[in-house]
């Protein structure tokens, strides 16, 4: 299962080339992740939460490093992305 964004977005959990969102809820793993029991609303709410609280354990390494070292600069880049 994949979720893609159609608009350009600067976010550490969105691949800048494929626009695929890295969300643990969508990954099929032995320890959890995707389940056919999830509703579309579950995925949407998880995505909204990810946008407001990035997962610093996965995603683009450069963006993660910037977010950890200088959150203000990361947010400025995100706001200026068009």
Q: What is the CATH number of the domain that holds 57?
A: 3.10.110.10
Backbone dihedral region of 23: left (phi > 0), alpha (psi from -120 to 50 degrees) or beta? Answer: beta
Cα separation, 58 vs 64, whole angstroms:
8
- Condensed to tens digits (0 to 9), the pLDDT of residues 13-39 reads 999 999 999 988 887 666 667 777 888
Contact between 32 and 57 under an 8 Å Cβ cutoff? The reply is no
Q: What's residue 35's pLDDT?
A: 76
Which domain covers residue 44, as residue numbers?
A: 1-82
Question: 37 or 52: which carries more pLDDT confidence?
Answer: 52
Enumerate the β-bridge partners of residue 14: 21
pTM for this model (two decimals): 0.81
Band of pLDDT at residue 51, cut at 50, 70 and 90 = very high
| Count of structural domains within the chain | 1
Please report how the helices 71-80 and 61-69 are oriented relative to each other, as an axis angle in degrees rounded to 10.
Answer: 130
């Amino acid at each position: 299962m994949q979720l893609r964004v159609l608009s350009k977005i600067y976010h550490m959990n969105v691949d800048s080339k494929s626009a695929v969102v890295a969300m643990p809820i969508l990954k099929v793993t032995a320890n959890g992740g995707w389940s056919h029991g999830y509703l579309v609303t579950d995925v949407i709410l998880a995505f909204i939460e990810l946008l407001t609280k990035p997962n610093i354990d996965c995603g683009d390494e450069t963006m993660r490093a910037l977010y950890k070292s200088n959150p203000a600069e990361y947010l400025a880049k995100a706001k200026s992305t068009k």
